[in-house]
Amino acid sequence: MKKVFLALSALTLCMAAGTTFAKEYKELRFGVDPSYAPFESKAADGSLVGFDIDLGNAICAELKVKCKWVESDFDGMIPGLKAKKFDGVISSMTVTPAREKVIDFSNELFSGPTSLVFKKGSGLDATPESLKGKTVGYEQGTIQEAYAKAVLDKAGVKTQAYANQDQVYADLISGRLDASIQDMLQAELGFLKSPQGAGYEVSKPVDSELLPSKTAIGINKGNKELQALLNKGIKALHDDGTYSKIQKKHFGDLNLYSGK
């Protein structure tokens, strides 16, 4: 009986210790690829700006923790997360079945479709048939890469990978690419509104199950504590109107939140 009592006491102490020593986050490190305006980019002074940046900072403020942003090319996000270089990824990362096999996600941050960018009057559109024989660029590690390899390559389209979105647009402007494929809002508000984007247009949304729209914060598999913490912060931003204010600042009357 004494052994049973001692075992139960030890179990009680372990449970208490687990509660006492559960990780308390004083700082949250977020991975970001700042080549994707208006979601994440660099201002002239080198500071990080954008919708995702404002949301991340607001979540940290709500949770009363310090925000630290760690820059990385997008295709290095999941390896960096798994290597614990950062706690989460806030960099327009879409939730996909393939990604859900290796990492977990917070609740939705925003949702948005994919589209193509090409010169006005080019005669191109969002269909693989119109792009046959043309060269289309995409950022590595994105859902657009998966679509390019699975659909465009098989349709006779030449596709080209780049480390970041800035490089994609640089080759589009130089004429080495006929089109680029990326998030529709990023193309409309990040590229077309820039001086370099003046002679280009954005296609209709690309319709494919390979291009889901829901975007969230990527975290390491099984980190339920951080997931609950981030979800708490996201909910608070909606409840107190902070999300709406940030959204209006970057997108006017557009609503990017699907509520899913």
Query: Mind listing the domains of the chain with CATH numbers?
Result: 27-111+213-251 (3.40.190.10), 114-205 (3.40.190.10)
- Compute the mean pLDDT over every residue in the chain, rounded to the nearest whole number: 91
pLDDT value at 250 more than 80: yes
pLDDT value at 168 more than 50: yes
pLDDT for the residue 16: 41
Three-state SS letters, the chain: CHHHHHHHHHHHHHHHHHHHCCCCCCEEEEEECCCECCCEEECCCCCEECHHHHHHHHHHHHHCCEEEEEECCHHHHHHHHHCCCCCEECCCCECCHHHHCCEEEEEEEEECCEEEEEECCCCCCCCHHHHCCCEEEEECCCHHHHHHHHHHHHHCCEEEEECCHHHHHHHHHHCCCCEEEEEHHHHHHHHCCCHHHCCEEECCCCCCCCCCCEEEEEEECCCHHHHHHHHHHHHHHHHCCHHHHHHHHHHCCCCCCCCC
Residue 21's pLDDT band, with cuts at 50, 70 and 90, is very low
Q: What is the mean pLDDT of residues 129-134?
A: 98
Tokens of 148: 């390019």
Q: What is the mean pLDDT of residues 156-177?
A: 97
pLDDT value at 144 more than 80: yes
pLDDT for the residue 7: 39
pLDDT for the residue 24: 83
Residue 23's pLDDT band, with cuts at 50, 70 and 90, is low
pLDDT value at 84 more than 90: yes
Residue 128's pLDDT band, with cuts at 50, 70 and 90, is very high
pLDDT for the residue 260: 72
Q: What is the mean pLDDT of residues 151-165?
A: 97
Supply φ then ψ for residue 182, to 5 degrees. -165, 180
| Model confidence, pTM | 0.82
